[in-house]
Structure 1
Amino acid sequence: MSQSYLSTGLYHIIEKRDEAVEIELSDASHPVFKAHFEGMPLLPGFLQIDIIAEILEKEIDEISNAKFVHKVLPKERLLYAVTPTKNGVRVKLKNGSNVLCGDFKLTWHQK
């Protein structure tokens, strides 16, 4: 797995399975957090989706629905649960407190 220039050093994988991936984000000193937003670092929504595609080595064809329902902060542990659907996958993103942060419906293919 090769990381993009934006995600290099942004996270490390704790556990990886086909149906779930757990990661821990870097601290607020990472350039992504410095740029988004000054004084209140958050993980941008597009990276919440790109990270799981990157880890599973998928190329996103379509994002049919994306809900960002809770902020994602530096140093958080995140769990991506990936469930196949009729037209692709559904990815639910929860933080270490089991709070839903994002819910994404995607179609993708192997890189």
Structure 2
Amino acid sequence: MILNHLYTLTCKEGARFCVRLSDASHPVFQAHFPTNPILPGFILLDLSAEILGIEIVKIQKAKFLKNITPLSVLWFDTQTHEKTLKIRVTQNEQKVAELTYEKR
């Protein structure tokens, strides 16, 4: 429910997809933080799992390198090896996060 209207999937090609985040009026950004809205890290994990249609069993690595703000366009490049999924998240060709988790 919290992800409703938070993002728009703009493209999905094989192991890569792109989303555009909503504006600062979305409840996620209002809660974190109203005067300096940024996307909470756990939401990035949930968002990727929702788009890929998978269940996260165990987070092995979650490294957040830069703040992600409203209206950002994010690219997710994924690599799967058995039950492990690695995701590199970029914005304007700069890495903003690395996620690795075990999936079901």
TM class, shorter-length: over 0.9
Say how many residue pairs are matched. 104
Picking from 87, 90, 101, the partner of 2:86 is: 90
Alpha carbons 1:66, 1:103 under 8 Å: kept: yes
Picking from 47, 70, 78, the partner of 2:43 is: 47
Picking from 30, 51, 58, the partner of 1:34 is: 30
Which consecutive unaligned segments of at least 5 residues does structure 1 have? none
Q: Secondary structure at the match of 1:16?
A: strand
Tell me by how many angstroms 1:17 deviates.
2.7
Alpha carbons 2:49, 2:56 under 8 Å: kept: yes
Q: Secondary structure at the match of 1:47?
A: helix
**Structure 2 Cα separation of the partners of residues 12 and 61 of structure 1:** 25
Alpha carbons 1:18, 1:82 under 8 Å: kept: no
Following superposition, which runs of at least 4 residues in structure 1 exceed 4 angstroms of deviation? none
* Alignment partner of 1:107 is 2:93: no
**Structure 2 Cα separation of the partners of residues 50 and 35 of structure 1:** 17
Q: What's the TM-score, normalizing by structure 1?
A: 0.89
Identity among equivalent pairs (%): 32
**Structure 1 Cα separation of the partners of residues 18 and 42 of structure 2:** 18
**Structure 2 Cα separation of the partners of residues 55 and 87 of structure 1:** 17
Q: What's the TM-score, normalizing by structure 2?
A: 0.95
Which consecutive unaligned segments of at least 5 residues does structure 2 have? none
